Chains A and B, each alone.
Chain A
Amino acid sequence: MQKYSIFNLVKNAFSNHENWDLAWKDPTPKEEYDVVIIGGGGHGLATAYYLAKEHNITKVAIIEKGWIGGGNVGRNTTIIRSNYMHDENALFSEFGMDLWRKMSQDLNYNVMFSPRGIINLAHSDAQMNAYARRGNSMRLNGIDAVLLNREQVKEIIPMADFSENVRFPIFGGLMQPSAGTARHDAVAWGYARQADSMGVDIIQNCEVTGFDVTAGKINGIRTSRGNIKTKKVGLCVAGSTNILAEKLNMTLPIETHLLQACVSEPVKPILDRVVTFGAGHFYISQSDKGEMVMGGDLDGYNSYAQRGNLPTLQHVLTEGIAMMPFLSKLKMLRTWGGIMDMSMDGSPIIDKTHIDGLYLNCGWCYGGFKATPASGWTFAHTIAQNRVHELNAGFSLNRFSTGHLIDEKGLGTKTWIS
């Protein structure tokens, strides 16, 4: 594989950049693989990469129904953070933060990781107390957290509404300075390129139509491009988890819902942090191109549509304008939607299943993108060693029946309530 470097850039300039290697190949499926990963999104690509890099398992195929990076890894709002209160989420995410910091070097691909900090705004004394508690929990787990008062927030984001007579006045906020954003497509492409170079077959436009399971063991999968034999299958299909689970006669604690995001027209730099509204569900950052990147609530009912409905967008942007009134002057450039695998406690599942050789990675809810490296790393470990790593031991499938829920937001099983 050609290394991406300033020297190769200059060298290739002499041949008008026409002689670069393809970033990944387009192989036809082989008859058999050691591991098949279903889903060529961020998590699937990362899993294949860490299987090859950390466990020397390179006879791996990634089976993708569409094209790699066309699902949620290309549809999110690119936020990376580890500001969780519960140990399971906090330690897992903070492990991921380390991988994020090294990712561009590790993948030899600029993922434009920008640790600009995230601020969760508080709009009441009670919320300040809750944030103080969460900040303390974070610090006990080695994660940076700073509790800001109103004046401190005003210094950082003066464009927010600090007037006296607003419905949700800003009391302060909780900041994680090391949080940030990254270029989401580059993450998918970087993992794909490295995985491919180590021998992983990335098979696109190939739909999984069924599974060969005999005596509780997986023996292979059936696809639109033929049958593939394998002893290990990893499911990384986010919003399509229930569709494949049905083919396996499994019913999971997952519902598929639609989440929208949108960007405004590009404007000059105004916001150099990620900011979330505390009295509803709205988050915003500014991309390197100048667009304001915004998102918020789920559409509110089970959906596989991959496109959104206007009432939710209006509701979310009303919150945005309440927080930062200047947004009302911007034109909307694009809106889009992705389908989320909403788990019943808001936390993910990375685990083995009752079928020998079938591994499950799902339930990412609103936070799949930031989890990409840690999810791939721990899922690769789980598949390669056939046992969970301590980092994903809490994300078990049976925690719902044993009562060991990780209910970060205290929302319970009504996943559409935000």
Chain B
Amino acid sequence: MLHIKCPYCGMRSQNEFSYGGDASVKRPELNKEISDEEWDNFVYNRKSPRGKHLELWQHLSGCRQWIKVERDTATHEIFNTYKADEEIS
């Protein structure tokens, strides 16, 4: 069982959350000229690293906020959690 610290509610069990995938993927700017390759990278292509992975989760059975979680995909260690709109250096 993972324990995820929601930035709004505190430490909660994994059962309260649903997964939202890679949080480092950026939607292309719609006002700019966008190549097919950029769309491809946004919609389909994923790095899926072994190790540190920044990902989206939603505290679905809680405050319903989307959050970012920095987790190790091999050990499941969670290093940090952030609000969805928080800029991460």
A416 to B46, CA, bound (A): 13
Contacts of A253 in B (CB 8 A): 44-46
Contact between chains at A400 and B53 (CB < 8 Å): no
Is residue A20 contacting chain B, with contact meaning CB distance below 8 A?
Answer: no
Proximity bits, A285-321, B CB within 8 Å = 1, else 0: 0000000000000001111110001110000000000
Q: Identify the stretch in B26-34, B60-68, B69-77 within 8 Å (CB) of chain A at 4 or more residues.
A: B69-77
**Interfacial chain B residues near A302, Cβ < 8 Å:** 21-22, 48, 53, 55, 73
A305 to B41, CA, bound (A): 26
Residues of A within 8 A of B86 (CB): none
B88 CB-CB contact with A under 8 Å: no
A94 contacts partner chain B, Cβ-Cβ < 8 Å? no
Q: How far is the CB of B35 from chain A (nearest CB, A)?
A: 10
B49 at the interface (CB under 8 A from A): yes
Tell me which residues from 300 to 354 in chain A have a Cβ below 8 Å from any Cβ of chain B.
300-305, 309-311, 344
Decide: A252 and B46 in contact? CB cutoff 8 A.
yes
User: What's the interface size class on A, roughly?
Assistant: 20 to 34
Residues B48 and A309 in contact, CB atoms below 8 Å apart? no
Task: Check A416 against B48 for contact (C-beta < 8 Å).
Answer: no
Task: Judge if B80 is at the interface, Cβ distance under 8 Å.
Answer: no
Known: A416-B19, A416-B21. A254 touches B46 (CB 8 A): yes
Specify which chain B residues have a CB less than 8 angstroms from the CB of A270 in the assembled complex. Answer: none
Number of B residues contacting the other chain (C-beta, 8 Å)?
A: 27
Cβ-closest chain A residue relative to B45: A251
A109 and B2 CA atoms in complex are apart in Å by 43
Also in contact, A301 and B55, with CB within 8 A (given A311-B15, A416-B19): yes
B-chain residues with CB within 8 Å of residue A242 when the two chains form the complex: 46-50
Q: Chain B residues near A300: list those with CB within 8 A.
A: 18-19
Within the assembled complex, what's the spacing in Å between the Cα atoms of A106 and B60?
Answer: 52
Contacting residues, chain B, for A400 (C-beta < 8 A): 40, 43-45
Which A-chain residue is minimally distant from B76 (CB atoms)?
Answer: A305
Within 8 A of B (CB), among A229-252: 242-243, 246, 251-252
Query: Closest chain A residue to B57 by CB distance?
Result: A301
Q: Which residues of A contact B46 (CB under 8 A)?
A: 242, 251-255, 344
Taking A243-B50, A302-B55, A414-B21 as contacts, is the C-beta distance between A251 and B41 under 8 angstroms? yes
| Residues in chain A near residue B1, CB distance under 8 A | 309-311
- Confirm or deny: A16 has a beta carbon within 8 angstroms of a beta carbon on chain B: no
Query: Shortest distance in angstroms between B57's beta carbon and chain A's nearest beta carbon?
Result: 8
Question: With an 8 A cutoff between CB atoms, is B87 at the interface?
Answer: no
Q: Are A413 and B44 in contact (CB under 8 A)?
A: yes
Chain B residues near A304: list those with CB within 8 A. 50, 73-74
A252 vs B19: C-alpha distance in the bound complex, in angstroms? 20
Within 8 Å of chain A (Cβ to Cβ): is B36?
A: yes
Which B-chain residue is minimally distant from A398 (CB atoms)? B40
Interface status of A382 (Cβ within 8 A of chain B): no
Q: With A251-B41, A311-B1, A311-B14 known to touch, is A301 a contact of B19 (CB < 8 Å)?
A: yes
Q: Is the CB of A309 within 8 A of B44?
A: no
B85 at interface by CB-CB < 8 Å: no
A354–B55 CA distance with the chains assembled, in angstroms: 29
Chain B residues lying within 8 Å of A301, measured Cβ to Cβ, are 19, 55, 71
**CB-defined A-B contacts under 8 Å, sample of 22:** A242-B49, A246-B49, A251-B41, A251-B46, A252-B45, A255-B48, A300-B18, A300-B19, A301-B19, A301-B55, A302-B48, A302-B73, A303-B74, A303-B76, A305-B73, A305-B74, A305-B76, A344-B46, A400-B43, A400-B44, A400-B45, A413-B43
B residues with a Cβ closer than 8 A to A are: 1-2, 14-15, 18-19, 21-22, 36-37, 40-41, 43-50, 53, 55, 71, 73-76
